[in-house]
Chains A and B, each alone.
Chain A
């Protein structure tokens, strides 16, 4: 065990994967000698050489096109997109290529070795283009897996899980927690399962569901609610696609109430998908409408970031409203 922040845990996961398998390659903008603008790939070029950890030209569609080709060839590419806000030039390569490679070839070819890492989310005064949470765009694409970790331990285990998963995986890293989240992380290789949510805390009155940086927000809100005697169950979804319906539904059977929260805007956000599925599964068990606490439907603001974001107070209010319904 070592004490690490989330960046160190991610760096450690990449180091672990590269040490074990020489087919693992890390690349992206500024990923090489500099180690990435957030330093997630620090020292990897020094350790594994320029052929396995390198800078690419500044072209996201090229990075993912290149990564798709490498994965089809049998390499294990871990491509970094510097900010999730800049993933859109690669949308075609991800949605039309990575996601459909296996299906369209009848399993002759696949890009299962592909992992795409990208920092996402607000809270760093990043404004419109260094703050977005684009998970829902990709969740609409069968063939992809989407994973979001909440802390250093989860980050290492889930990233190694993603790298070894035989399907193309998007790994969105909550950059607000890169240095803020610190915890004990095993030094060895360990892989957390994809597609499985985790019940972090059991409770009986209401279920709170989120992922990534939003888990911290949920914990603060729950602290407030529990002081008022509301027993809260907290679930970290961890994998957005394919998501763990059973764990969430089983929780809602028990509590009868659900609050889903994410930073991305409300309309078309992934909370809508969860709400639709859970009302279908748990209709007769629900005591109140499923609540969504999300960013509002604006581009991501700068000065008024706090007003925009679904913070602990807004989540707390949703808990109260649900319980008092």
Chain B
């Protein structure tokens, strides 16, 4: 039995799908004006400014924290630079109760939802207030109250999890959906294909948001896939798909708004391919000068999504030079002040080494922990972060 209904031919006919060229949805030109036949989405001033502030916050946080990493204050960092509109435009189109399952470059989504600079810093420095208890490398944020799933380093694992999470949301019937973010490189993983296929088969309210930023570390998209980007794969799963200019905040917002309707009201999963560019290095451990040209970067610097939105806001008289100056100054000051605070805070208590492996510490682990503590008590100078905590116990 087959569900494929196709017409019959009597000589071998191959097709290459070329007829399925997918257009790119754009609304906003780089000068902040709309394309001729484009119409701005329904976005009020308050929400537009919430989006813009989150974009600027993300940019400044990224600049300052990369600098902090270069000064040796931080072990590692990853910037979202150039992709702020793709992330924040899509998150802003959701309900704040919808779940976000991100890859690792989506700090903008958290900034939009209201994660405070203190909360960012506590994670980055792995101090006693870090929700993740200092267990993960910097940028692996998570927030229960903001419906932002804690980041996991292995690529694409969050994608089938998003399908499962959204299936649970559908069963709960509360009208929520899940969005999952990933790069065009991660879309090569088997988990991506598993997730899209299962979502389509089971009609799950999930939005797959691929940030096609041109590079997976050093590997350019042209060496990642032969096809016209990631979007055409949706056809193979019978899934709605749209390709969007990822540097166009209005297009990202409207496309995701419509995608959410399909997902929540019609149980139709959607793939969005946001075309953008990773302006910064992959991470603080990477140096793009070894694999791409400054000229190429300069072309994309001209397409800055934040400047594009700012010009649009100014054209609406919703934003001024003074507003900009004030926001920039305030954010820079807040970032510096909170960084100092976070850095001074003590590390998580020693027992966080063994808690949360299971719901309770099992006997064999408790026994191992006692041995660790006894060892630290013997060599306290070698373990300055935990010598104080090791004093208790047998």
> Residue A70 at the B interface, CB < 8 A?
yes
> Residue B12 at the A interface, CB < 8 A?
no
Question: Do the beta carbons of A106 and B358 come within 8 Å of each other?
Answer: no
> Residue A126 at the B interface, CB < 8 A?
no
Q: How far is the CA of A163 from the CA of B364 in the complex (A)?
A: 23
Question: Do the beta carbons of B152 and A97 come within 8 Å of each other?
Answer: yes
Q: Which residue of B lies closest to A64 (CB)?
A: B160
Taking CB atoms and an 8 Å cut-off, the chain A residues in 44-92 that contact chain B are: 51, 54, 56-57, 59, 61-62, 64-75, 77, 89, 92
User: CB < 8 Å: which of B142, B149, B166, B197 contacts A57?
Assistant: B197
Interface string of B106-133 (1 = CB under 8 A from A): 0000000000000000000000001111
Question: Do the beta carbons of A105 and B131 come within 8 Å of each other?
Answer: yes
Interface string of A204-215 (1 = CB under 8 A from B): 000000000000
Question: Do the beta carbons of A66 and B359 come within 8 Å of each other?
Answer: no
Q: How far is the CA of A243 from the CA of B165 in the complex (A)?
A: 31
Q: How far is the CA of A300 from the CA of B359 in the complex (A)?
A: 36
Range of interface residues on B (Cβ < 8 Å):
35 or more
Taking CB atoms and an 8 Å cut-off, the chain B residues in 344-394 that contact chain A are: 352, 355-359, 362-365
Q: How far is the CA of A110 from the CA of B135 in the complex (A)?
A: 15
Question: Do the beta carbons of B144 and A108 come within 8 Å of each other?
Answer: yes
Question: Do the beta carbons of B198 and A102 come within 8 Å of each other?
Answer: no
Q: How far is the CA of A189 from the CA of B246 in the complex (A)?
A: 53
Taking CB atoms and an 8 Å cut-off, the chain B residues in 215-230 that contact chain A are: none
B contact residues around A127 at 8 Å (CB): none
Interface string of B209-245 (1 = CB under 8 A from A): 0000000000000000000000000000000000000
Q: Identify which of B133, B157, B197 gathers the most chain A CB atoms within 10 Å of its CB.
A: B157
> Residue B154 at the A interface, CB < 8 A?
yes
Known: A96-B157, A166-B359. A108 touches B131 (CB 8 A): yes
Question: Do the beta carbons of A66 and B356 come within 8 Å of each other?
Answer: no
A contact residues around B99 at 8 Å (CB): 73
User: CB < 8 Å: which of B159, B163, B168 contacts A75?
Assistant: B168
User: CB < 8 Å: which of A57, A65, A67, A195 contacts B191?
Assistant: A65
Question: Do the beta carbons of B167 and A66 come within 8 Å of each other?
Answer: yes
User: CB < 8 Å: which of B131, B132, B160, B167 contacts A61?
Assistant: B160
> Residue B161 at the A interface, CB < 8 A?
yes
Taking CB atoms and an 8 Å cut-off, the chain A residues in 106-150 that contact chain B are: 106-110, 112, 142-143, 145
CB A274 to nearest CB in B, in angstroms, measures 12
User: CB < 8 Å: which of A62, A106, A112 contacts B359?
Assistant: A112
Question: Do the beta carbons of A96 and B359 come within 8 Å of each other?
Answer: no
> Residue B338 at the A interface, CB < 8 A?
no
> Residue B91 at the A interface, CB < 8 A?
no
Q: How far is the CA of A142 from the CA of B357 in the complex (A)?
A: 7
> Residue B201 at the A interface, CB < 8 A?
yes
Q: How far is the CA of A108 from the CA of B167 in the complex (A)?
A: 20
Q: Identify which of A51, A72, A143 gathers the most chain B CB atoms within 10 Å of its CB.
A: A72
Instruction: Tally chain A residues at the interface, Cβ within 8 Å.
Output: 48
Question: Do the beta carbons of B152 and A104 come within 8 Å of each other?
Answer: yes
> Residue B257 at the A interface, CB < 8 A?
no
A contact residues around B195 at 8 Å (CB): 62, 65-66
Q: Which residue of B lies closest to A79 (CB)?
A: B164
Taking CB atoms and an 8 Å cut-off, the chain B residues in 143-185 that contact chain A are: 143-144, 149-150, 152, 154, 157, 159-169, 171-172, 178
A contact residues around B157 at 8 Å (CB): 65, 92-93, 96-97
A contact residues around B164 at 8 Å (CB): 65-73, 77
B contact residues around A12 at 8 Å (CB): none
User: CB < 8 Å: which of B133, B162, B194, B359 contacts A59?
Assistant: B194
CB A312 to nearest CB in B, in angstroms, measures 31
Question: Do the beta carbons of B167 and A70 come within 8 Å of each other?
Answer: yes
B contact residues around A301 at 8 Å (CB): none
Question: Do the beta carbons of B191 and A61 come within 8 Å of each other?
Answer: yes
CB A198 to nearest CB in B, in angstroms, measures 17
* 11 pairs, CB–CB < 8 Å, chain A vs chain B: A68-B161, A69-B165, A70-B165, A72-B164, A73-B169, A74-B172, A75-B168, A92-B157, A96-B152, A97-B154, A110-B359
A residues contacting B by CB (< 8 A) are 23, 25, 51, 54, 56-57, 59, 61-62, 64-75, 77, 89, 92-93, 96-97, 100, 102-110, 112, 142-143, 145, 166-167, 195, 242-243, 245-246
B residues contacting A by CB (< 8 A) are 99, 101, 130-133, 135-136, 140, 142-144, 149-150, 152, 154, 157, 159-169, 171-172, 178, 190-191, 193-195, 197-198, 201-202, 352, 355-359, 362-365
Further 18 A-B residue pairs, CB within 8 A, beyond A61-B191, A65-B195, A69-B178: A57-B201, A65-B157, A65-B159, A65-B164, A66-B163, A66-B167, A66-B194, A70-B167, A70-B168, A92-B191, A108-B131, A109-B149, A142-B357, A143-B357, A143-B358, A242-B362, A242-B364, A245-B363
